[in-house]
């Protein structure tokens, strides 16, 4: 009996996804033609509605938080889930900020005339239907919806089950406001069933969904990459390095290492491994080590590091590959730039990598040889961020090479089409 009920629930879950994906695609066709002014008006209305109806949202969120506590979730997870008046105000203000960003749709990226007289224009258009699969933070629900609307896309949201009540409330508030303001009905879809079959179904809706963007931990992203047939943009996992070269100015290198590790350790562009040239290892680690430890950083070092910093724990192979997202730093003394490059090639996740150096040639070699979305010379890895790059809000940070790399803003939520205007040309 229970198996049968499960099977029925699964069928219902799949059906919900199919229906919502079809509705999203139908709405996407209209979204593509929506003028910027209408999109901006909708974003302002959504922001306003969030403020006006915040008690409705906070009530739903309280129920999620109670259930999470009952289920014994960690305080860190509950903090991610928790909404407050202040956090809702933050979401509203993000939506308003998106109205200030330029609309990417309709940009003529390139255009040229062919010898036969054909005029070929390459015109930016929305992707169509964007599927977001994410974990507990309910702000993703609002942020992603805002960016998708401004870029002319429909969105299908699949959040974490622990945030389901919050997400239902948030989507009701923002979708009501958006539709009243002229966004085509169906453009904002939330998968409301917690059944895993729903996510599986969403990952295989190639006919209706143009791209999937997973946001969350490594497990979530891996599951989407493994199971999706819809094209995926991999985001987020960042095992970032700072390499302090032989010629690095110590004070600059210290500030960069401390900033990259400590300014916000829980994010993907934080530094996880420090590589130090052997010629300066003793001096530099002697300076930066105590400062890191004083800030609560646990150091896990290679044997040479531990000779210099006896407080350091022993680093294992796992440490070189780890994305700690915490106040832990792996430290390795390397023979030279070549060994640093080899280490980064082997363990890096192609997110953000930095060198600190005075030498022109070392800087150039590092820039050319490191394969990552963002390569820094003499700056902290923490700048890999849509806002810091000046792109405005971001929907994620791509760590793959296809389509978009690094911070993805509005433009990265578009594709293009070729528009060819002729006067009866046929091919010879």
Residues that bind its own copies (CB under 8 A): 29, 32-33, 112, 114, 118, 120, 125, 127-128, 206, 210-211, 225-226, 229, 231-233, 249, 252, 255-256, 258-260, 263, 345, 363, 367-369, 371-380, 382-384, 388-390, 400-403, 405-406, 415-427
For residue 82, what are the CA distances in angstroms to 33, 66, 352? Answer: 36, 10, 30
Helices (H), 32-72: 36-52, 54-70
- Comparing CB distances to its own copies, the nearer of 226 and 317 is 226
Minimum separation from the CB atom of position 52 to its own copies (A): 33
E strand or H helix at 13, and its extent?
helix 2-31
- Comparing CB distances to its own copies, the nearer of 78 and 267 is 267
Phi, psi for 110 (deg, rounded to 5):
-160, 160
- Comparing CB distances to its own copies, the nearer of 168 and 391 is 391
Angle at 365 between CA 360 and CA 370, to 5 degrees: 135
- Comparing CB distances to its own copies, the nearer of 273 and 352 is 352
- Comparing CB distances to its own copies, the nearer of 63 and 108 is 108
Beta bridge partners of 276: 244, 333
Helix pair angle (36-52, 54-70), 10° resolution: 60
- Comparing CB distances to its own copies, the nearer of 295 and 421 is 421
Minimum separation from the CB atom of position 234 to its own copies (A): 8
Minimum separation from the CB atom of position 402 to its own copies (A): 4
The closest of 217, 220, 264 to 237, measured between CA atoms, is 217
CA atoms within 13 A on the CB side of 10: 10
Minimum separation from the CB atom of position 409 to its own copies (A): 12
User: Could you tell me the two tokens for 191?
Assistant: 């998968």
Minimum separation from the CB atom of position 354 to its own copies (A): 9
Minimum separation from the CB atom of position 412 to its own copies (A): 10
The closest of 215, 140, 136 to 171, measured between CA atoms, is 140
């Amino acid at each position: 009996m229970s198996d049968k009920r499960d099977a029925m629930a699964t069928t219902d879950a799949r059906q919900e996804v199919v229906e919502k994906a079809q509705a999203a695609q139908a709405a996407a066709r209209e979204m593509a033609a929506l003028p910027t002014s209408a999109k901006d008006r909708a974003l302002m209305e959504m922001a306003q509605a969030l403020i006006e109806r915040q008690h409705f949202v906070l009530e739903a969120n309280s129920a999620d938080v109670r259930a999470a506590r009952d289920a014994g979730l960690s305080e860190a997870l509950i903090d991610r889930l928790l909404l407050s008046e202040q956090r809702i105000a933050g979401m509203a203000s993000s939506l308003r900020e998106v109205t200030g960003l330029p609309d990417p749709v309709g940009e003529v990226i390139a255009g040229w005339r062919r010898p036969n007289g054909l005029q070929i224009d390459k015109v930016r258009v929305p992707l169509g239907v964007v599927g977001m699969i994410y974990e507990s933070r309910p702000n993703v629900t609002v942020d992603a919806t805002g960016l998708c609307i401004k870029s002319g896309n429909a969105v299908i949201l699949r959040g974490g089950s622990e945030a389901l009540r919050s997400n239902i409330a948030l989507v009701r508030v923002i979708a009501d406001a958006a539709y009243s303001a002229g966004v085509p009905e169906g453009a904002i879809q939330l998968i409301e069933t917690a059944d895993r079959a729903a996510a599986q179904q969403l990952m295989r809706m190639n006919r209706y969904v143009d791209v999937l963007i997973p946001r969350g931990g490594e497990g979530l992203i891996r599951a989407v990459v493994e199971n999706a047939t819809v094209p995926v943009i991999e985001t987020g996992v960042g095992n970032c390095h700072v390499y302090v070269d032989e010629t690095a100015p110590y004070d600059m290198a210290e500030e960069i290492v401390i900033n990259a590790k400590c300014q916000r350790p829980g994010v993907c562009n934080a530094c996880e491994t420090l590589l130090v040239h052997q010629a300066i290892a003793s001096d530099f680690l002697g300076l930066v080590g105590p400062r890191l430890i004083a800030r609560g950083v646990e150091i896990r070092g290679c044997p040479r590091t531990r000779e210099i910093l006896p407080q350091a724990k022993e680093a294992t192979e796992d440490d070189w590959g780890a994305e700690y997202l915490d106040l832990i730093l792996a430290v390795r003394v390397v023979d030279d730039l070549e060994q640093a490059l080899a280490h980064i090639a082997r363990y890096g996740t192609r997110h953000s990598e930095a060198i600190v150096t005075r030498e022109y040639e070392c800087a150039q070699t590092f820039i050319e040889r490191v394969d990552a979305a963002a390569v820094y010379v003499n700056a902290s890895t923490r700048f890999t961020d849509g806002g810091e790059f000046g792109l405005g809000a971001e929907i994620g940070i791509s760590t793959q090479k296809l389509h978009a790399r690094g911070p993805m803003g509005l433009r990265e939520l578009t594709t293009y089409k070729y528009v060819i205007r002729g006067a009866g040309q046929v091919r010879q």
